[in-house]
């Protein structure tokens, strides 16, 4: 039922014993290629096997006992144990923050459970748009509920979030299927989004216990000074469709754990996901009146929510233009000055120099530019490749794109799913047309499956999912452009512009900075000092070196941009909750009753 594998020329004596005594197959493999490809492989093997900690090195040392060689490497030793996967996040506020349980779609049993959840989804229902004239009364009720919610002990609010995490993990498959169905995400992406939401529940629930508890401050004897964190009031949360569960939940959870009530408006395209999560919060113990869910378009309902009397703050994720309009509306209000926490779009770039490993670059480009059909805030839009390596990289990337499978999101074989709706498809097609008019040259495009109804010169298609719904697709496309031909706007889909560069890489960074956005930046190089220098020069919120640019993990890679890409603080980071609180400083003269009991109790004679 299994075989042993070895590298040619290594461990021959050991495997000779295996072959002589056991009837197990042994597969011998060897690297094959030209000097340029194999030199790095050889150096890596020499470093691995020549290290003092290497099993191969220790095997030849008589002073190393057999028990040390046979020790379980996953358990570590008593001095520095390696954490198990569920424990990798460590503790917050003295409590373990568990890593959410994942799912492996290569396992038939797990695929079967997910598909069962897919088939058990309730039928779609039509939702009425909430009238704008209902906002004043509903905001008044939210403000009343906020006072009761804020007065609860912090531990009770935090416990609601931790219970929500456990409930969501128990219902992982059904929520995953819902994200696939309504958000048009692949199973892999939907699983990751549900896990991210569980992370938000636990991270903010534990972080609040650590950061929002009353803090005693130093002062003179006979005086008590305390800093208290309270909710600001009733906040408005507006979230997009591209992360209909994780961003929706992340905003909402942070606001309520701080003691705020929330008017929450999800994207028009994904109302069912929002309803399911709000219902889950209520089962976790969040009182019904603390969260009010509004359905409707952002241009009318969202705008009226922001302008409503008594709004204590706005959390928004979406376009830069809408964020600027929200900023103007808040500034025009005669009420208190309230915070706006905005995470907006980006013209995200990746810089590749001639030292980068091409295979690694291609993997990271495919992941960053085309996963989720390019519909991620952090997705790669501009690929800057050093001229020396551009031809070889283009050939390799084109070949990899030819292997991408385009299909319905519920098909486990699909690598690239649909864009969210026909409006998104039309917008992307218009941007492709402008890109081509500016001189962009098509280098590669992923092929369509036979079931596709192909339109617009092969760049778009219509296909149906297993439920018979008509879905809209854009083919992953790679365009060559010069710096003057760059379409300097975010194409929110699987369209990548590639620019060759030579000379100074500092000039490339300055060109990227000049766009004014600052969400994510990828750097691919094997020169550590260059990566460090590039990272310091770039005015960007999240920088990823020699890895993909998407998939930020809560509490590990806090996410948020600079410049035109957001206000900060970063979502899923240690500074987020404080922005949603009102600080209250309380100073008490403890000697006012006629004596300083604490001073007398600390007598030193």
11 sits in which H/E element: none
Token pair of 105 as six digits: 């779609």
Q: Starting at the edge strand that comes first in sequence, how are the strands of the sheet with 460-464 ordered?
A: 453-455, 460-464, 470-474
Known catalytic residue: 196? no
Token pair of 226 as six digits: 């305390």
DSSP state of 569: P
DSSP state of 563: G
Q: Where in 206-295 does DSSP place strands (E)?
A: 215-217, 223-231, 234-238, 261-265, 291-293
CA distance between the termini of the chain: 79
- SS3 annotation, 122-148: CCCCCCCCCCHHHHHHHHHHHHHHHHH
Q: How far apart are CA 195 and CA 238, in angstroms?
A: 21
Directed axis angle between helix 172-183 and helix 154-170, to 10°? 80
Q: How far apart are CA 273 and CA 355, in angstroms?
A: 44
DSSP state of 335: S
CA angle, 583 then 586 then 590, to 5°:
165
Known catalytic residue: 377? yes
Q: What is the CA radius of gyration of the chain?
A: 28
Q: 342 with 326: CB under 8 angstroms?
A: yes
Which residue in 343, 410, 490, 581 is the catalytic one?
343
Q: How far apart are CA 540 and CA 543, in angstroms?
A: 7
Q: How far apart are CA 20 and CA 7, in angstroms?
A: 18
Token pair of 290 as six digits: 């603390």
Q: How far apart are CA 278 and CA 394, in angstroms?
A: 46
Token pair of 526 as six digits: 């094997």
Which residue in 237, 377, 410, 581 is the catalytic one?
377
Which residues carry out catalysis? 343, 377
């Amino acid at each position: 039922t299994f075989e042993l594998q070895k590298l040619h020329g290594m461990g021959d004596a050991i495997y000779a014993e295996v072959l002589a005594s056991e009837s197990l197959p042994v597969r011998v493999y060897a690297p094959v290629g030209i000097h340029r490809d194999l030199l790095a492989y050889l150096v890596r093997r020499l470093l691995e096997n020549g290290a003092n900690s290497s099993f191969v090195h220790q095997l030849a040392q008589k002073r190393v006992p057999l028990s040390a060689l046979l020790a379980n490497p996953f358990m570590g030793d008593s001095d520095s144990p390696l954490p198990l996967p569920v424990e990798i996040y460590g503790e917050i506020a003295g409590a373990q923050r568990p890593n959410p349980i994942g799912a492996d779609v290569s396992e038939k049993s797990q695929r079967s459970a997910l598909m069962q959840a897919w088939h058990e989804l309730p039928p779609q229902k039509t939702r009425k748009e909430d009238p704008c004239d209902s906002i004043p009364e509903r905001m008044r009720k939210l403000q009343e509920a906020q006072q009761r919610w804020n007065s609860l002990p912090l531990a009770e609010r935090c416990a609601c979030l931790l219970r929500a995490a456990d409930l969501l993990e128990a219902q992982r498959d059904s929520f995953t299927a819902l994200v696939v169905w309504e958000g048009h995400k692949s199973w892999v992406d939907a699983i990751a989004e549900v896990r991210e939401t569980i992370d938000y529940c636990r991270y903010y629930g534990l972080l609040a216990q650590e950061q929002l508890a009353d803090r005693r401050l130093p002062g003179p004897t006979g005086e008590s000074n305390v800093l208290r964190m309270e909710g600001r009031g009733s906040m408005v949360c507006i979230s997009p469709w591209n992360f209909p569960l994780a961003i929706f939940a992340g905003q909402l959870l942070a606001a309520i754990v701080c003691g705020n009530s929330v008017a929450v408006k999800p994207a028009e395209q994904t109302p069912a996901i929002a309803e399911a999560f709000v219902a889950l919060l209520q089962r976790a113990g969040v009182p019904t009146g603390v969260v009010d869910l509004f359905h409707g378009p952002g241009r009318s309902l969202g705008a009226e929510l922001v302008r409503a009397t008594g709004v204590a703050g706005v959390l928004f994720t979406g376009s830069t233009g809408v964020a600027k309009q929200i900023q103007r509306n808040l500034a025009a209000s005669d009420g208190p000055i309230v915070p706006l926490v905005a995470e907006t779009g980006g013209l995200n770039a990746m810089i590749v120099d001639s030292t980068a490993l091409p295979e690694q670059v291609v993997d990271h480009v495919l992941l960053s530019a085309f996963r989720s059909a390019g519909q991620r805030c952090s997705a790669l839009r501009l690929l800057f490749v050093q001229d020396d390596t551009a031809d070889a990289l283009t050939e390799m990337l084109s070949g990899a794109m030819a292997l991408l499978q385009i299909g319905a999101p519920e098909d486990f074989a699909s690598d690239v799913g649909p864009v969210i709706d026909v409006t998104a498809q039309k917008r992307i097609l218009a941007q492709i047309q402008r890109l081509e008019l500016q001189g962009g040259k098509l280098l590669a495009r992923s092929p369509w499956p036979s079931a596709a109804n192909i339109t617009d010169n092969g760049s778009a298609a219509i296909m149906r999912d297993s439920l018979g719904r008509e879905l809209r697709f854009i083919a992953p496309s790679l365009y060559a452009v010069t710096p003057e031909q760059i379409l300097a706007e975010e194409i929110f889909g699987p369209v990548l512009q590639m620019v060759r560069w030579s000379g100074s890489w500092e000039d490339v960074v300055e060109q990227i900075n000049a766009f004014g956005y600052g969400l994510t930046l990828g750097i691919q190089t094997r020169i550590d000092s260059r990566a460090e220098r590039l990272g310091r020069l770039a005015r960007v919120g999240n920088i990823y070196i020699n890895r993909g640019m998407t998939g930020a993990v809560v509490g590990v890679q806090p996410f948020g941009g600079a410049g035109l890409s957001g206000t900060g603080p970063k979502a899923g980071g240690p500074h987020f909750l404080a922005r949603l609180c009102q600080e209250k400083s309380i100073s008490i003269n403890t000697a006012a009753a006629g004596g300083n009991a604490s001073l007398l109790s600390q007598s030193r004679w």
